[in-house]
Amino acid sequence: MKNDTVLNIEVEQIKASKIDQVDFDNLDFGKVFTDYMFVCDYSEGEWKKPEIVPYQPITIDPSAKVFHYGQAVFEGMKAYKDDNDDVWLFRPDENFRRINLSSQRLAIPEFPEEFFFEGLKTLLQLEKNWIQKGFGNSLYLRPFVIATEPGVSASPSSDYKFMIICSPAKAYYSGEVRVKIAEKFSRAADGGVGFAKAAGNYAAQFYPTSLANAQGYQQIIWTDASSHEYLEEAGTMNVFFRIGDKLLTSPNNDRILDGVTRKSVIALAEDAGIDVEVRRVSVKEVIEAAENDNLKEIFGSGTAAVINPISGFAFQDKKFELPKLEDSYAGYFKKTLMDIQYNNSEDKFGWRYKI
């Protein structure tokens, strides 16, 4: 990860900021965007000079390959402001590594490291006033790449556009979350693109999730595509199970996203002396633990919510409620992670990145 880059990114200044039009106390996640955006085009076999321009619509040909063959990948990140007005990112090296891993799987050219980090630094310096102080407030960052070459031939694009857009965010409270364990639909299959943050992965989840919503469940816990016997992810998040005092989560493979929050939770658990096992977790094992009152917690992990506790779940015709714990693992991990992100505690892991 490059802390000191020398790239000089050209900035087209806005005429006037729209920040005064924003009610920061009443934000819908991902609906309000800041003054600027980062843009870099790929053509003739190379990434061109990046620039930062006023946030605006883009013009793209109707035959652009992103519309027809789905060459699109993205990342989710957050910037945080501490009490001294310093701005921090959390493990951005992992996001950079993963967007290029996702790109590679979809035959998209990898993005240069110095462009990524200098782009983030310059953009966040311009948008510093959009990052509100206060525990839970942040600026959500969405780097993404799309294929822009006109043409409907079924082949990789020759042209691409890499962008970063920013959206102010409040603390994420999802309320009571109940999930349904998948029996038919799958999020990803062996040899596919489940490990990548490919746009199509999320589109494919919407329909089965809408069926679960109609039955009163907010999300699905996805199972493996071949047997539906093993639990893999919860909605759009990695998932953890606490059986007794042991923490379980599925191993990374080509079906499961290598979540930044997930790997941070594992590191924190090991540091705190919590018994954590990264292995396949079967539906049968979790059902039996619930029936024996040994299933203490299920929670998802991801950038938006950090940690999302699950209050109940269903499988086939069985429904289970989880106990409400005062000293939950979910609560501990969420507070510990956020204290690091907001520069409220020691960062022994070196995860914070100062802008």
User: Which of 44, 61, 51 minimizes the C-alpha distance to 12?
Assistant: 51
Give the total residue count for the chain: 355
Same domain? For 28 and 72 the reply is yes
How many folded domains does the chain comprise? 2
Query: Do 107 and 132 fall into the same domain?
Result: yes
Cα–Cα distance between 355 and 343 in angstroms, integer? 13
Over 70: is that where the pLDDT of 5 sits? no
- Same domain for 54 and 69, yes or no, is yes
The answer to whether residues 236 and 304 belong to one domain is yes
Q: Mark whether 129 and 191 lie in a shared domain.
A: no
Domain boundary among 171, 204, 224: 171
72 and 124 fall within a common domain = yes
Look at residue 305 and tell me whether its pLDDT is greater than 90.
no
Which amino acid makes up residue 263? K
Q: Is the pLDDT of residue 81 over 80?
A: yes
pLDDT-derived band at 33, boundaries 50, 70, 90: very high
> SS3 of 100, please?
helix
The rounded distance, in Å, linking the Cα atoms of 100 and 108 is: 8
Q: Which of 223, 7, 226, 19 minimizes the C-alpha distance to 122?
A: 7
Residues 53 and 189 in one domain: no
Q: Does residue 145 belong to any structural domain of this protein?
A: yes
Q: Is 84 a member of any domain?
A: yes
**Quick one: how far is CA 161 from the chain centroid?**
20
Residue where a domain terminates, one of 171, 200, 223: 171
In-domain check, residue 46: yes
6 pLDDT band, cuts 50/70/90, is: low
Note whether residue 76 is domain-resident: yes
CATH at residue 60: 3.30.470.10
Tell me whether residue 147 is exposed, middle or buried, using C-beta atoms within 10 angstroms of its C-beta: 0 to 12, 13 to 18, 19 or more: buried
Which one of 112, 137, 171 terminates a domain? 171
User: What residue has token string 């951005």?
Assistant: 92
Q: What is the CATH number of the domain that holds 332?
A: 3.20.10.10
The rounded Cα 55 to chain-centroid distance in angstroms is 22
| Residues 6+ positions from 58 with CB-CB distance below 8 Å | 161
Quick one: 243 and 163 in the same domain? no
Which helix (DSSP H) or strand (DSSP E) does residue 66 occupy? helix 65-69
Instruction: Decide if 302 is inside a domain.
Output: yes
Provide the whole-model pTM. Answer: 0.94
Q: Is residue 352 part of a domain?
A: no
How large is the C-alpha radius of gyration of the chain?
A: 21
Residue 236: pLDDT band by 50, 70, 90 thresholds? confident
Instruction: Please check whether residues 197 and 334 belong to one and the same domain.
Output: yes
DSSP 34: -
* Six token digits for residue 278: 């990264």
Whether 353 is in a domain gets the answer no
Residue by residue, DSSP assigns 243-291 as ETTEEEEPPP-TTS---HHHHHHHHHHHHTT--EEES-EEHHHHHHHHH
Residue 85 structure tokens: 């007005």
Q: Which range of residues forms the domain containing residue 56?
A: 10-171
Are residues 182 and 167 part of one domain? no
Q: What would the two tokens of residue 189 be?
A: 């299959």
Is residue 53 within 8 A of residue 12, CB to CB? The reply is yes
DSSP character at residue 64: B
- Please provide the average confidence, as pLDDT, over all residues in the chain: 94
Question: pLDDT tens for residues 249-292?
Answer: 999 888 888 999 999 999 999 999 999 999 999 999 999 999 99
Do 155 and 194 share a domain, yes or no? Answer: no
Q: Cα(291)–Cα(288) distance, rounded to whole angstroms?
A: 5
- Considering the domain architecture, whether residues 80 and 143 belong to the same structural domain is answered as yes
Q: Is residue 354 part of a domain?
A: no
